[in-house]
Amino acid sequence: MALDGHLENSRPARPAVIRHTPVPPPAGPAIWWLAPGLIISLGVHFVLFCLLLIVNFGQAATTDQQETTMIETKVEENTQEKNLENPDIGMDPDLPTNYNFNRKEDVSVPGPVNPTEAVGIFEAPDGAPKTVAPPPGFGGNSGQGGGVDGPIAGKGNLFGTATGMGGPKLVAGGFGGRSGATRETMVREGGGNGQSEAAVAAGLIWITQHQAPDGRWSLDAFPSHGKCNCTGFGQQNDIAGTAFGLLPLLGAGQTHKGTGKNSKYAKHVERGLKYLIAKQARDGNFGGGALYAQGLATIAMCEAYGLTSDPQLKGPAQRAVDYVANAQRDAGGWDYGPKGAGFDTSVGGWQLMALKSAQMSGLNVSKESMSKANRWLDSASSPDGGSYAYRSAAGSGSGGRMTAVGLLCRQYLGWGPRNPGLLKGVQNLRGGPPSQANKDLYYYYYATQVMHHIGGDAWDFWNEGKVDKGAKLIGMRDLLIQAQDKGGDAKRPHHRGSWSPQGDGICGAGGRMMSTSLALLTLEVYYRHLPLYRRDMSGGKDMDAQ
């Protein structure tokens, strides 16, 4: 339908058409017409490559310069050579300390080392022997025991050495020599040897083989516990027997918390301690009858606590110590029962050593107990202080056993190595030296400790049998090694490692368990208690008799 007449007969216009006319390629090879683009691209990449080289060389030069500077700085910081030859390194490498370090030479002089020169000062006369002053607070600088923690002799925790490291302190008379390299050094320097240590090892095997399943050791029933036919029965007393079983193990550094080399008998020690704790009454009494057993068990409990600081042992050990202190007579000393009418030096020796073990373990011991102990020893001694009585007054009826007990107590209560009474007593002990004809392990146990603490010629005489003019007697060490059962009896092989009580007046009552225990403790003397008068552990003026 037409809208108007003008448009009715009109036609739509055709769209425009774009035609492509190809341009003919230039004459010649195709590479020539691509050349401009390639040249431009190569130029750009060359410029970028040069820029990268410049940056890398600059960084390398900077790094080399920094490294050179650092190396030069390190050389400047180490221009002073370290002293690698002074074994006494401490806060000041040039200031020797007072502690017991092994030295390369006996005498050290300043200056560079010349191996062709003789040790010491050229053509200088020999100087008089001198002791080294102990650390501050060490036994009041009097050379008589004492912990480094306080003024009370022997008092203080044994752990945390004054040199800043952990482990037992080397307190004079203390327990710090019982294990590790210290034990080996003490054996070597104190006069022990491989045979004595082998005898200790064999004896400990025998001890542990005869422990009951509930942890006790018996003086009389040990063969049934060992399932053997061992002989040498003693009187019935399981408290004393258990103490005699524990003490040699503790003396060798074996505890219920042992690790490494000291863990071999940990379970045996643990069962023994648990048995004693189970038998202990609320007042601290272990119930062993006479105070002999109480003193022995208290020593064992205190040593176990002192060696481990186990808080579970502190209460039982302190209660045992309190019972011993309360059983002391008002006039001093101890008898068979608490607050006895008289004194018994044999019983008193075990009680006093229990109190000293408590002090060295950090437990509480009253000064009054020690003062009364001195009064007891005064009443039991001869006028010159060189011998001691068993039960009577002023030295009458004294003998070698009680003299050894009294002298050891005096040493722990403060007598110095030059005390006239002690020197007289040592002379008396030398009159009864170790002998195969005199079997008395109780006497040898105490006398050996006295001689070990006094040291010097007296100790060489006692331990190795050395006397003047080249003559030589049998020493305590070799006597015990020879007397130990070697298992030669085919009918009783279980005796191997033990000591027979036959012919021993005192150990006959305690049997093979007591004789073996005392023999082991005597062979452990080199490290069981550190020497009271060791030169590098004590110094100053000796204490006079009080």
Residue 115 lies in a domain: no
The predicted model gives 3-17 an average pLDDT of 50
**This prediction's pTM:** 0.70
Spatial neighbors of 323 by CB under 8 A, at least 6 apart, are 283, 284, 285, 294, 298
Model confidence band, residue 539 (pLDDT cutoffs 50, 70, 90): very low
Q: Where are the alpha helices (DSSP H) in 262-344?
A: 266-279, 291-308, 311-326
How much is the pLDDT for 120? Answer: 62
Give the position of tokens 């080996």: 184
How much is the pLDDT for 533? Answer: 81
CA gap 536, 541 in Å, rounded: 14
Question: Is residue 304 within 8 Å of residue 253, measured between CB atoms?
Answer: no
User: Above 70 in pLDDT, residue 230?
Assistant: yes
Residue 116 lies in a domain: no
How much is the pLDDT for 114? Answer: 67
How much is the pLDDT for 30? Answer: 55
User: Above 80 in pLDDT, residue 437?
Assistant: yes
User: Above 50 in pLDDT, residue 329?
Assistant: yes
Give, in order, the Cα–Cα distances in Å from 85 to each of 89, 91, 103, 104, 345: 9, 16, 10, 9, 52
Model confidence band, residue 167 (pLDDT cutoffs 50, 70, 90): very low
Residue 461 lies in a domain: yes
How much is the pLDDT for 176? Answer: 78
User: Above 70 in pLDDT, residue 25?
Assistant: no
3-state secondary structure of 168: strand
For helices 420-430 and 400-412, give the axis angle rounded to 10 degrees.
Answer: 150
Residue 139 is given by DSSP the state G
How much is the pLDDT for 117? Answer: 64
Q: Which residues pair with 435 in a beta bridge?
A: 438
How much is the pLDDT for 51? Answer: 73
Higher pLDDT, residue 404 or 341? 404
Q: In this predicted model, what pLDDT tens digit does every residue of 195-223 receive, in sequence order? A: 999 999 999 999 999 999 999 999 999 99
How much is the pLDDT for 84? Answer: 43
How much is the pLDDT for 532? Answer: 86
Give, in order, the Cα–Cα distances in Å from 148 to each of 131, 162, 353, 387: 18, 7, 20, 32
CA gap 217, 211 in Å, rounded: 5
User: Above 90 in pLDDT, residue 431?
Assistant: yes
User: Above 60 in pLDDT, residue 158?
Assistant: no
Model confidence band, residue 399 (pLDDT cutoffs 50, 70, 90): confident
Q: In this predicted model, what pLDDT tens digit does every residue of 492-502 receive, in sequence order? A: 999 999 999 99
The predicted model gives 258-266 an average pLDDT of 78
How much is the pLDDT for 146? Answer: 35
How much is the pLDDT for 407? Answer: 97
3-state secondary structure of 33: helix
User: Above 90 in pLDDT, residue 35?
Assistant: no
Model confidence band, residue 71 (pLDDT cutoffs 50, 70, 90): very low
CA gap 397, 100 in Å, rounded: 43
The predicted model gives 329-355 an average pLDDT of 92
How much is the pLDDT for 17? Answer: 55
The predicted model gives 343-370 an average pLDDT of 94
How much is the pLDDT for 101? Answer: 52
CA gap 191, 480 in Å, rounded: 14
CATH of the domain at 345: 1.50.10.20
User: Above 70 in pLDDT, residue 62?
Assistant: no
Residue 449 lies in a domain: yes
Average pLDDT score over the chain = 79
CA gap 323, 285 in Å, rounded: 6
Higher pLDDT, residue 97 or 462? 462
Higher pLDDT, residue 37 or 315? 315
Residue 1 lies in a domain: no
How much is the pLDDT for 545? Answer: 36
Q: Tally the domains of the chain.
A: 1
How much is the pLDDT for 182? Answer: 82
Model confidence band, residue 288 (pLDDT cutoffs 50, 70, 90): confident
Domain range for 357 is 139-537
Give the position of tokens 């918390």: 257
User: Above 70 in pLDDT, residue 34?
Assistant: no
How much is the pLDDT for 341? Answer: 82
Task: Give me the phi and psi of 242, to 5 degrees please.
Answer: -65, -40
CA gap 98, 539 in Å, rounded: 10
How much is the pLDDT for 495? Answer: 97
How much is the pLDDT for 129? Answer: 57
> What value, to the nearest 5°, has the Cα angle with vertex 168 and ends 186 and 357?
85
Question: Is residue 291 within 8 Å of residue 355, measured between CB atoms?
Answer: no
The predicted model gives 46-70 an average pLDDT of 59
How much is the pLDDT for 142? Answer: 37
How much is the pLDDT for 163? Answer: 39
How much is the pLDDT for 346? Answer: 94
Spatial neighbors of 281 by CB under 8 A, at least 6 apart, are 287
The predicted model gives 96-108 an average pLDDT of 54
